[in-house]
Structure 1
């Protein structure tokens, strides 16, 4: 009987693969390059293959659970699963990174939720076997409650400030200085020429201004926190529950001023009963939890 599981957490910058035995003991891990099909399908598949190969070694694998950033259409899912099944002679399940992370939170609890507010954003929640996701449509269609979206909103404010007023605000002046730009057209050049990660990194400038008491910066950050809160409330309404265990993920949500506080305030105002999980499990742990559940159900094995 096969007795090993591989979990893979693929993101925009790195891919983490872990090999476990059935008792959940970590045997080996390996980190390779990014795993995001919207960046490059070929390189993503290569990085996934490298990560799995390095942890697999000579072990016989009973299941691979693979979480990938972004939304995955069904045709791509089936294609990748079939390819990996053949390559590694096992069964593969491809899911989103948000669903992977959700399965790392309070796995034995009926009602759980994970809020990811980093470069991008997404909300996943479950009640028993029912799962919903809100957001996660990427930086063009969504990502409210993220560092990237904050930068976009800051730039939009600056553009409107320059074009609508004879005297620009201190916020715009400070942002011009922080970004080392002199003309508003440089904002356009920046946002269209830089990667999502590079653009999102400029959220620190807005955070710094908020810490200094700048009202525009505070409002922008407050709005991002509220947006995440409203997404969380919507997810719970779809599930028909108002009590949940929540895990917060993402440096923007956890570290940027005013974001977490206003996120929680929205939950309280909507009479949501919640506990904040402190287990801090890596998202890749969700792969083991999910594989274990599938194996127990499909193959009637207890471990």
Structure 2
């Protein structure tokens, strides 16, 4: 009997992970490649996604039924059917569906149940699922949104440091960024900052978080500010639910998984409006969302009879 399997792909700003599961949901194999975020570099992102999928297809002796790709930057690029068709054309015309990486995480975090999922890593977004309908707040990219993300934390911290420098005030974020950018004067760090891609900026958030954990007031103020902005997005999403509102909220992404201070600030703010909200940390294996996807909207590059 031919082995039947499906592939879930989590294509993010730093790397792409593709995992194959059999019909019972057991992992068969996995493959990784470079960044799959398509709004930064469309062709390169699509290529990395296809490379990871093809590696699995070549290694597994069986019949791949479908491929679900959760892609960072898809909400910015738009036209998910075309993106799915493009990927399908590069993986042997397999039935393929393209969704945002946050929606893939929602499927995985809630295991198909109604509720919400917050993703905060390089970027951020809130997705809610209720009776088959998706509610989305935030997720507008680094220039227009991504509140509470690693990118937003670093930008806010840089602004705090630069303002203090202009005022010649003490701020521990100044020597922090001087060290990170290897400059003697933080005003010289701005040119280097603008040359970084969002993922490189977001990677510095852990340094801001560590400074906040040490008790520094300026770094803590940044974490608090971003936590409240992220909580605002979540509350806006919960407000849009119909009653009775599902109150399970899964959290995923490097910021929410590793930054307890931001997580606590955020949860406290949400509990002010929704004290019954229940939070859990998702296992982060978001490619597993393919198992819970009930959609039939899988596209081929060419028409199949």
TM-score range, shorter chain: 0.7 to 0.9
Could you tell me which residue of structure 2 aligns to residue 298 of structure 1? Answer: none
1:256-293 deviations in Å (ceiling 9; x for gaps): 35201111001111134122235625111112211xx2
1:138 aligns to 2:144 (yes or no) = no
Q: What is residue 129 of structure 2 aligned with on the other side?
A: 126
Contiguous gaps of at least 5 residues in structure 2: 297-305
After TM superposition, give the deviation of residue 235 of structure 1 in Å. Answer: 0.6
Gap change, CA 1:265 and 1:24, over 3 Å in 2: same
TM-score by length of 1: 0.86
TM-superposed deviation, 1:253 = 2.2
After superposition, where does 1:267-278 map in structure 2 within 5 Å? 267-277=270-280
CA contact 2:76–2:141 (8 Å) conserved in 1:
no
What is the match of residue 299 of structure 2?
Answer: none
Once the two structures are superposed, what CA deviation does each residue of 1:44-87 show, in whole Å capped at 9, x if it has no partner?
22222222222123522222111111234686423332234454
Residue in structure 1 matched with residue 235 of structure 2 by the alignment: 233
Aligned length: 290
1:278/1:40 CA distance change after superposition, 3 Å: closer
User: What's the TM-score once normalised by structure 2's chain length?
Assistant: 0.85
Aligned position for 2:28: 27
Alpha carbons 1:65, 1:92 under 8 Å: kept: yes
Secondary structure of 2:116's aligned partner: strand
> Hey, what's the Cα distance between the residues in 2 that align with 1:212 and 1:90?
51
Offset, 1:108: 4.2
Distance in structure 2 (CA, Å) of the matches to 1:147 and 1:84 = 28
Match of 1:43 in 2: 44
- Between 1:143-152 and 1:197-206, the stretch displaced more is 197-206
Q: SS of the counterpart of 2:103?
A: helix
What secondary structure, in the 3-state scheme, does the structure 2 residue paired with 1:12 have? coil
Q: CA deviation at 1:194?
A: 1.9
SS in 2 for 1:194: coil
Q: How does 1:292-303 map to 2 (within 5 A)?
A: 293-294=294-295
- CA 219–84 in structure 1, closer or farther in 2 if over 3 Å, else same: closer
Q: Is the 8 A contact 2:252 2:284 kept in 1?
A: no
Shift of 1:169: 1.8
| Structure 1 partner of 2:195 | 193
Q: Is the 8 A contact 1:176 1:182 kept in 2?
A: no
**1:300 is matched with which residue?**
none
Partner of 2:183: 181
1:301 corresponds in structure 2 to: none
Cα contact 2:12–2:36 (8 A) shared by 1: yes
C-alpha contact (below 8 Å) 1:171/1:216 kept by paired residues: yes
Out of 95, 105, 127, the residue aligned to residue 101 of structure 1 is: 105
* In structure 2, C-alpha distance between the alignment counterparts of 1:245 and 1:38, rounded to whole Å: 30
One of 89, 92, 116 as aligned partner of 1:88: 92
Q: Structure 1 residue 245 and structure 2 residue 251: aligned?
A: no
1:173-215 deviation digits (Å, cap 9, x = unpaired): 4435543433242132122122222222322332233223222
Give the secondary-structure state (helix, strand or coil) at the position aligned to 1:170.
coil
Say whether 1:209 aligns with 2:211: yes
Per-residue CA deviation, residues 212-270 of structure 1 (Å, 9 max, x unaligned), is 32222111111111111111111111123554111111222232352011110011111
